[in-house]
């Protein structure tokens, strides 16, 4: 926890704020009416994919600890750390069902792109959209020619979001990381490094690769960042980065950093009706 920060602080806010980020990412307007309420401000620490200096995004992309199931499926581990699910409660996902401990479905990663991206999608994983990701699916490097010379490969997925609308979907990127590219900043203490490596299972066929995952919701204005997908990234000299086309944020895919930020906790019950105007 950040030093000198009073853990329990409240502000007056509008219910609409919480919905704004997710709604914007989904390409729709703000859906909830504005309603005054008390919102708790909570400081959190989390390990994330390093955001590059000069990017508009202020924070890294939070890691999702992984394991490989007995059936070879990639599964996120939502309770690898106490209250880990808080890391994913930003950009309007404070109340997203998949970010709550009582999510009732599985924790498997499924290939995912938006409805708009499906049309004409020709990436290596295109035939498997909506299927559970198996470790053996991941090639060593991205097959598409313009990204072939950059290290590693990524697959976009959704997690803890089956049956949810776009604005309540947690999206991420599964990476196959060459071990010699994987680094930790000085913000990660050595014993923490050991713990984080446990969240990145070794590739069963290749001890020189690890599988790792992060949320892909850009910490700037909540667009979905991608890896080895956008021609603009390559043309801009950032073809080897996780890249957000909305305002050009770049994340170093295999560099893990420690982040400190605040999230909001909304009351359990939020009135859905806009209050009647009061007489002056
Ligand atoms: S850079 Fe602005 S939303 Fe990603």
Per-residue pLDDT at 39: 83
The whole-number pLDDT of residue 22 equals 44
Rounded to whole angstroms, the Cα distance separating 147 from 144 reads 6
Output the CA–CA distances (angstroms, integers) from residue 87 to 65, 81, 94, 100, 165, in the order listed. Answer: 12, 10, 10, 11, 20
Q: How far is the CA of 55 from the centre of ligand 1 (A)?
A: 9
In a domain, 37, yes or no: no
Q: Any idea what the Cα angle at residue 117 is, between residues 112 and 122, rounded to 5°? A: 85
Supply the residue whose CA is at minimum distance from atom 3 of ligand 1: 221
pTM (2 decimals)? 0.84
Q: Which domain holds residue 190?
A: 45-80+102-259
Of 41, 34, 36, 43, nearest to 13 by C-alpha is 36
* Alpha carbon 279 to its chain's center: 45
Which of 204, 207, 227, 202 shows the shortest CA–CA distance to 215? Answer: 227
Q: Is residue 54 part of a domain?
A: yes
Would residue 15 count as lying in a domain?
no
Q: Is residue 227 part of a domain?
A: yes
Measured in angstroms, how far is the CA atom of residue 61 from the centroid of ligand 1?
12
Mutate to test the pocket of ligand 1, among 57, 60, 241, 242 (most ligand atoms within 8 A of CB): 57
Total structural domains in the chain? 1
Output the CA torsion sign for 171, 177, 179, 181: negative
**pLDDT in the model for residue 168:** 96
23-59 in b/e form (b: 16+ CB < 10 A) is bbbbeeebebeeeebebebbebebbbbbbeeebebeb
pLDDT digit string (tens) for the chain, length 280 residues:
333 334 445 555 444 444 444 444 443 333 444 456 778 889 999 999 999 999 999 999 999 999 999 999 999 999 999 899 999 999 999 999 999 999 989 999 999 999 888 988 989 999 999 999 999 999 999 999 999 999 999 999 999 999 999 999 999 999 999 999 999 999 998 889 999 999 999 999 999 999 999 999 999 999 999 999 999 999 999 999 999 999 999 999 999 999 999 988 877 655 455 556 666 5
Domain assignment present for residue 191? The answer is yes
Q: How far is the CA of 220 from the centre of ligand 1 (A)?
A: 5
Q: Is residue 34 part of a domain?
A: no
Ligand 1 center from residue 250 Cα (angstroms): 9
- Asked if residue 133 belongs to a domain, the reply is yes
Question: Would the CB of 220 count as within 6 Å of ligand 1?
Answer: yes
Residue 56 lies in a domain: yes
């Amino acid at each position: 926890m950040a030093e000198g920060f009073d853990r329990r602080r409240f502000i007056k806010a509008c219910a609409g704020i919480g919905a704004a980020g997710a709604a914007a990412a989904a390409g729709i307007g703000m859906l909830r009416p504005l309603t005054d309420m008390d919102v708790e401000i909570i400081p959190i620490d989390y390990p994330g994919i390093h955001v590059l200096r000069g990017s508009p995004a202020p924070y890294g992309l939070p890691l999702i600890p992984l394991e490989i199931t007995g059936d070879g499926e990639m599964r996120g581990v939502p309770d690898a750390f106490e209250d880990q699910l808080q890391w994913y409660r930003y950009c309007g996902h404070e109340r997203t069902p998949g970010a709550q401990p009582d999510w009732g479905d599985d924790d498997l990663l499924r290939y995912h792109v938006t409805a708009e991206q499906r049309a004409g999608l020709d990436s290596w994983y295109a035939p498997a959209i909506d299927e559970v990701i198996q470790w053996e699916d991941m090639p060593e490097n991205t097959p598409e020619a313009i990204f072939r010379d950059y290290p590693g490969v990524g697959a976009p997925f959704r997690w803890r979001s089956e049956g949810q609308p776009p604005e309540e979907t947690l999206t991420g990127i599964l990476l196959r990381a060459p071990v010699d590219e994987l680094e930790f900043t000085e913000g990660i203490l050595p014993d923490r490094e050991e713990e984080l490596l446990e969240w990145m299972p070794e590739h069963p066929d290749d001890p020189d690769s690890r599988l790792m995952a992060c949320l892909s919701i850009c910490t700037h204005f909540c667009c979905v960042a991608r890896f080895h997908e956008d021609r603009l990234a390559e043309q801009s000299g950032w073809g080897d980065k996780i890249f957000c086309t909305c305002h050009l944020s770049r994340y170093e895919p295999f560099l893990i950093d420690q982040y400190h930020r605040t999230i909001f906790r909304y009351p359990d019950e939020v009135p859905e009706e806009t209050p009647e105007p009061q007489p002056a």
